[in-house]
Amino acid sequence: MSRPNGREPIRIVHLFPELLNLYGDRGNVATLTNRARWRGFAVEVEAIEASAAGRPIRADIIFIGGGPDRLQVGVARALARMEGSLARAVFDGAALLAVCGGFQNLGYQFRSSLAGSLSGPGLFDVSTDAPESTQRMVGGVVARLEDGSPIAAIGRASAAAAGFAGQEQTIVGFENHGGRTTLGARVRVLAQVDRGHGNNGVDGGEGVIALPGESGLAGLRIGTYLHGPLLPRNPHLADFILASVLRPRGISGLAELSDEAEWASHAAFAGRWGAGSGDRGTPPRPSSARARGRVRPRWPRPAVRLD
C-alpha cells in the first residue's frame, strides 16, 4: 500500500465491531478520530464485520477490540479468511492496536476451555492460555512506562500544561480476562504493572509493543488488556499511534491540544486504583514483591522519537 501524504485522510479500520466491543472499545476509534480532526486532518472510518473479512484492508490505523471467549472462534475464522491482507497492511505501515480478545487472537495461539485451540496470524509474538480453572483477573490497572519510552515523551508537554506533570509515565485502564499471555522474544512489554495483574499476573508486564520497522513490519503494533476504553484516559498513547502513521507523510510533530479533562480523568483513575488517592503526581513504585521477576521492556537506545 502506498503511504498517503498529509492532505489525504487518515483511514481507520475497525475490525469485527459486532463481535469485539466490550467496555466501550469503540471509544478508542472515536478518540483517534477526534484527536486527528481537532488538528485539521481528515479521517475516514471503516468497520469490517466478520462476514466481510475477505475484503482488502486499506488502512493507516487498524483497531480490534475485546469480546468473550466463545466468540473468539468466529474471530479466528474471520482472520483466516483475510488471507494475509491484515499482515500485509501492517507490513506496509498500518499501525495496529489490539485490546484483550483481539490481542489474544492476533498472537500465534489462543487456548481456552470454551474456544479450544485457535491459531492466529502471529502479528504479536505471544501465546495465551485460558484454562477453565483459572481465576479471572479483574480490576483497575496502573502501569508504568519505562524510562526513555517514546510514549511518555510525546505526552510530557501535554501533561505538564494540563497541570498533571508525571502522569505521562503511566497508562491506566480496566482489565477483565482469564487468559494468561506469554511473550516471545520479538516483542517487549508495553508497561510494567504498579497496580493490577497485567498479561499473566506473574511477570509484572502489561501488553506488548513493537515499534515501526521491528521484525520487518513497517507498522507500529500495540496489544493490551486495558479497556475503559483505553485511549480517552491515555491521550499520550493515542497521539503516539497517530504520530507513527503521520511521520511517513513527512509530518514530524503534532499540534498541542487542550487535554485538561483527559489528564484529570487519567489521574483520577490512577488515584482510585493506586495508592495515594487524589495525588496529581506519579503513582508509587510497586513493592519489592511485585517487582521480582518482572520483564523489562528493552527499549532501543536511543529511544525512537516521534515528537
Confidence at residue 121, expressed as pLDDT on a 0 to 100 scale: 94
**What domains, with CATH codes, occur in the chain?**
10-138+174-256 (3.40.50.880)
Rounded Cα gap, residues 46 and 28, in angstroms: 14
Does the pLDDT at position 2 exceed 70? no
Q: How far is CA 262 from CA 151, 164, 229, in A?
A: 16, 10, 12
- ∠ CA 199-208-33, nearest 5°, is 115
H and E: helices and strands count for the chain = 8, 13
Q: For residue range 115-155, what is the model confidence (pLDDT) as tens digits?
A: 789 999 999 999 999 988 889 999 999 999 999 999 999 99
Q: Is the pLDDT score of 4 beyond 60? A: no
Share of the chain above pLDDT 70, in %: 87
Pairing of strands 61-64, 10-15: parallel
pLDDT band at 59 (very low <50, low <70, confident <90, very high): very high
Mean pLDDT over residues 283-296, rounded? 37
**CB distance 228 to 24 below 8 Å:** yes
Compute CA distances 34 → 40, 100, 277, whole Å: 10, 23, 30
